[in-house]
Amino acid sequence: MAKYFDVHPDNPQPRTVRTVTDSIRAGALIAYPTDSCFALGCQLGSRDGMTRIRSIRNLDERHHFTLMCQNFAQLGQFVHVDNDVFRAVKAATPGRYTFILPATKEVPRKLLHPKKKTVGVRIPDHVVTQTLLAELGEPLLSSTLLLPDEEEPMTQGWEIKERLDHVVDAVVDSGDCGTEPTTVVDFSGEAPEIVRQGAGDPARFM
């Protein structure tokens, strides 16, 4: 049965945040709010967490996982960013975008796209997510909480607790959050490619 954490949206309770991050370090898979709907998240090196996310979402090996990063400095540890891409990504963060970029050696091989050796990264503009990331001290391995055969992501904490009670370890709820997935921009080719049009305005990358 998943634990349920009711977190203040503007002033997250430090004790609750520490409890959640301690559980992540211990191997927990959590559902948590972001500025673009809920996500599933686990520790970066958790093979079990990654397997569970794949199972819940019915994902294949070509799916790009996302490293939810606290800031640009942290993001730069895990992906290669040239000067032109740096300016574009920097101007759009924090925000509702996911960027696909070539991964550095800091990213576990099992997380990489099998052919492109890329990974998704993003910096959220959400108080609770940022507080969790600051306490954790490393990115959260994440994926949008979109269930198989459903067109809309899950956006209500109580519903997530009800439906995923036996497949996640904790649900973090802070009330309203985004209701639309991020816009995904692939910077791994010669020109930016909009892989998914979502909450972020894609025009700035066209």
Q: What is the pTM of this model?
A: 0.95
Does domain 3-205 fall under CATH 2.30.110.10? My reply is no
Segment 113-170, tens digit of pLDDT: 888 999 999 999 999 999 999 999 999 999 999 999 888 888 899 999 999 999 999 9
Q: Please list, in sequence order, all residues whose beta carbon lies within 8 angstroms of the beta carbon of residue 61, skipping any fewer than 6 positions away.
A: 114
Segment 59-92, tens digit of pLDDT: 988 888 999 999 999 999 999 999 989 999 999 9
Segment 12-49, tens digit of pLDDT: 999 999 999 999 999 999 999 999 999 999 999 899 99
Q: How far apart are CA 135 and CA 125, in angstroms?
A: 16
Query: What are the residue boundaries of the structural domains of the chain, listed by start?
Result: 3-205
